[in-house]
Amino acid sequence: MPKNRLEAFSDGIFAFAATLLILNLAVSGHPLGEQLLGIWPSYAAYAVSFITIGIIWTNHHMVMHQLAHVDRFFLMVNVLFLMFIAFIPFPTRLLALNLQSEGAQAAAITYGITLTTTAVLFNVLWRYAAHDRRLLRHDAEQKVVDGIGRSYLLGPVMYLSATLIALLSPIASATAYLAIGAFYVLESSIFGRRP
């Protein structure tokens, strides 16, 4: 089974999930200028989730680049994975609207569970494909394959930690989600340039 339509379907869901985030932004009442400044948690949540989806898309891109083909099991895990990608706009909205209210903890935990599960499923996807080089291209270097496997383990650990932080402080948890995104952006900015 060729992989190009899987990429098209996945790219579609990544792109729509990211774009749908904008529907979470809304103002009501006036004066408009004050309202627009007051919804800063909405901008922050939009930026963090958009960049997070962008980073996961970049990594999905790299996984697919190592594969020769896919099978039905891979397709099915990919559907479950995309189900959590498409879910991200919902906890993003919760976090944006409740960051400064008593619902902050529930929102931060929901956000964290979503991202942790996404990261776990991404690891399942990669490990299934890479186990015994099941779906890999013949020319995929084993060193690169092992390196990808190790670096992807970081995701679930970081997101689970940030979720647990929400039990103590929702604001600290939200800051941790922001920091994880910033970490990945900076990692790419510094290490991702062509020399």
Please say which residue, 15 or 153, places its beta carbon nearer to a second copy: 15
Collapsed DSSP state (helix, strand, coil) of residue 136: strand
User: How many residues in the chain?
Assistant: 195
> Can you tell me the distance from the alpha carbon of 95 to that of 99, in angstroms, rounded to the nearest whole number?
5
Residue 192, CB-side half-sphere exposure with 13 Å CA sphere: 11
Q: Confirm or reject binding of residue 90 to a second copy (CB under 8 A).
A: yes
> Can you tell me the distance from the alpha carbon of 157 to that of 59, in angstroms, rounded to the nearest whole number?
17
Region from 72-80, 115-123, 148-156, 172-180 binding a second copy, contact rule CB under 8 A: 72-80
> Can you tell me the distance from the alpha carbon of 154 to that of 168, in angstroms, rounded to the nearest whole number?
22
The binder of a second copy chosen from 45, 96, 99, 110 (CB under 8 A): 110
Q: 16-55 mask for a second copy (x: CB under 8 A)?
A: xxxxxxxx-x-x--xxxx--x---------xx--xx--xx
Q: Confirm or reject binding of residue 98 to a second copy (CB under 8 A).
A: yes
- 132 Rama class: left (phi>0) / alpha (psi -120 to 50) / beta: left
Would you tell me which residues interact with a second copy (CB under 8 A)? 1-2, 5-9, 11-23, 25, 27, 30-33, 36, 46-47, 50-51, 54-55, 57-58, 61-62, 64-65, 71-73, 75-76, 79-80, 82-83, 86-87, 89-90, 94, 98, 102-103, 105-107, 110, 134-135, 185, 188-189, 191-194
